[in-house]
Amino acid sequence: MNSMSAKNASVLPLYLKYVSANVLGMIGFSCYILADTFFIARGIGADALAALNLALPAYSLMNGTGLMIGMGAAARYTLSSASSGGNTHRSVFTQALYLAIISAVIFTSAGLFIPDTIASILGADEQTIGYATDYLHILLVFSPLFLGNNLLLCFVRNDGEPSLSMTAMITGSLTNIVLDYVFVYPLDMGMTGAAIATATAPLVGMLILSLHFIRKRSHFRIVRVKPSPGAARDICALGVSSLITELSSGIVIIIFNLLILDLNGNTGVAAYGILANIGLVLTAVFTGIAQGIQPLVSRYAEQGGSSSGNSASDTAGTALGRIRRYAVITALLFAGAAYVLTLFFSVPVADVFNRDHDPALTAIASEGMKIYFLSLFFSGINIVSGSYLSSSDQPKQAFTVSILRGFVLIVPAAWIFAKLLGMTGIWMSVPVTEALVCLLAVIFLFQGHNFNHLRNRRR
C-alpha cells in the first residue's frame, strides 16, 4: 500500500490495476451460480431451475454477510493505517474473524436443521421443495468456506495484492464449472452435486490466497484480543452497504418469485431465474468496480483526514474526485454495452437455459430482459456510490443509498406495478426503483468530500 501515496502516484494506473483485477475476479466469482443455472437447467429441468432461483436469496444473505464483514473490516484497516501502532489497525482482522465465525455457526445450523423450512418460506411447493432443500442444505453447511473466502479476499486486496485476489476468484469459479459438469452429468448427483461444486470453489480460493502468507507479504494477522461489540458495530457499519447490495438481490428475488407464481406459475419463476442469474453476473461487474476502488478511496481519505496541511488534503481530494469520476464512467460504459447485447440477443440467451424448448419460457425471459436490464444504467452508479461512501468513512450516506434500493422502494414498487401491469410491471419496478435512488446517490457522491469527520474521529 506504500505505492498508493497521493503525492507521487498517478491515480489512473492504480485505478486500472485495482478495478480491472476485481472486475475480472467478480465475473469469475459470479459464475458460481450462473454455472449452476446452466447445468441445472440443461441437466435436470425447469422445476430444478425454479428451485435454484428460490434458493438464491439464502445465497445472497450468506455472501452479503461475508462481504459486509470483509469490506467493512478492510476499510477500517486501511482508514486506521495512519496509527498503525494503535489497537484498531492491529486487531481489526481478528475482530472480523470473530464475526465470521459467529455468522458461520448460524448459517451452518440452519443448513443442518431447517433447510426444508427455509425452502418453504422462500416459496417452494411440492414440485420444487425437494430440489431446493437439497441445494440449501449443502450451501449453508459449507458457509464457513464462503465467509472465510470473502474475508481473506478483501484483506489480501487491501494489503496490496489485487491480482492474487483476482486469481483466487477466477480459479475458484473455473473449478466450480468443471465440478458442476462432472457432478450433474457423469455422476448424476442432481442438485446435491451442483451445490457441492459451488461449495468447493471458495476452498480453492482460500488455498490460493494462502500464498499471501506463505510469501510472508501479509501485514495483517491474528492477534490475542477479546471480541469487542464496539469493533463489531464499526465493522458492520462500514460494510453494511455491501450486505444490503447483496441482500437486495435476495429480497427482490423473494418478492418477484411470490408475485410471479401468482401470474405465471413455475414457468414464470424459471424465466425470472434466467434473468436473475444473468443479472448476478452483470451486477458483479459493478461490484468489482466498487470493491476495486475501496482500497484506493480508503487510503486517500485516510491521507486527507490525517493531514494537517491544506496541500496534502487538496491532493487527496483531487485523487478522490478522479477515482469517483472514473468509477461512474466505467459503470455507465459497461451498462450501455451490456444492455445493447441483451437487447439484441435476448432470445438466444433465453434458449440456452431452456432444455425443453418451452416457447412460453423463452418469451417471458426474452421480453423481460429488455425492460429489466434498463436498471443497469442506474444500479451501477448506486453500487459504486455505496462503496465510495463507506470507504471514505461515510456509512450513514452509504446505508441510505443501499437501504432505499434494497428494501424501502423496491418492495412496494414491485407489488404496485404487478397489480397494474402484470409481468411487464414486475420487470419495470426494478429500473424505476434504481433510477429514483440514483438521484439521491448522485447528490451524496458529488457533494464534495470533507475530511473534518475523519479528523474528529481521531480526537
Has residue 134 been placed in a domain?
A: yes
Residue 436 located in a structural domain: yes
Per-residue model confidence as pLDDT tens digits over 109-155: 999 999 999 999 988 888 889 999 999 999 999 999 999 999 999 88
Determine, yes or no, domain membership for 7.
Answer: no
pLDDT confidence of residue 209: 94
Q: Is residue 317 in a domain?
A: yes
Instruction: Examine residue 92 and state whether it is found in any structural domain, yes or no.
Output: yes
Q: Residue 17: inside a domain, yes or no?
A: no
According to the model, what pLDDT value does residue 314 have? Answer: 57
Quick one: cell of 129? Answer: 421443495
- Residue 71: closest CA among 347, 298, 339: 298
Residue 450 has a pLDDT of 52
Instruction: Tell whether 255 is covered by a domain.
Output: yes
The pLDDT of residue 416 is: 94
Our count of domains for the chain comes to 1
**Residue 300: predicted pLDDT:** 82
Q: Is residue 364 part of a domain?
A: yes
Total-model pTM: 0.71
pLDDT at 352: 82
Q: Render each residue's pLDDT in the chain as its tens digit; 459 residues.
A: 444 444 445 788 888 888 887 788 777 766 666 777 788 888 888 788 888 878 888 888 898 899 899 988 988 887 776 554 556 667 889 999 999 999 999 999 999 999 999 999 988 888 889 999 999 999 999 999 999 999 999 889 878 888 898 888 888 888 888 998 999 888 889 889 988 988 888 999 999 999 998 888 778 888 888 988 988 998 998 888 778 777 777 777 778 888 998 888 888 888 888 888 788 788 888 988 988 888 888 878 777 655 555 555 557 778 888 899 999 999 999 999 999 998 888 888 888 877 778 888 888 999 999 999 999 999 999 999 988 988 887 888 888 888 888 778 888 999 999 999 999 999 999 999 999 999 999 998 887 555 555 555 544
pLDDT score recorded for residue 5: 44
> Residues 136-171, buried b or exposed e (16+ Cβ, 10 A)?
bbbbbbbbbbbbbbbbbbbbbbbbbbbbbbbbbbbb
Domain housing 137: 25-458
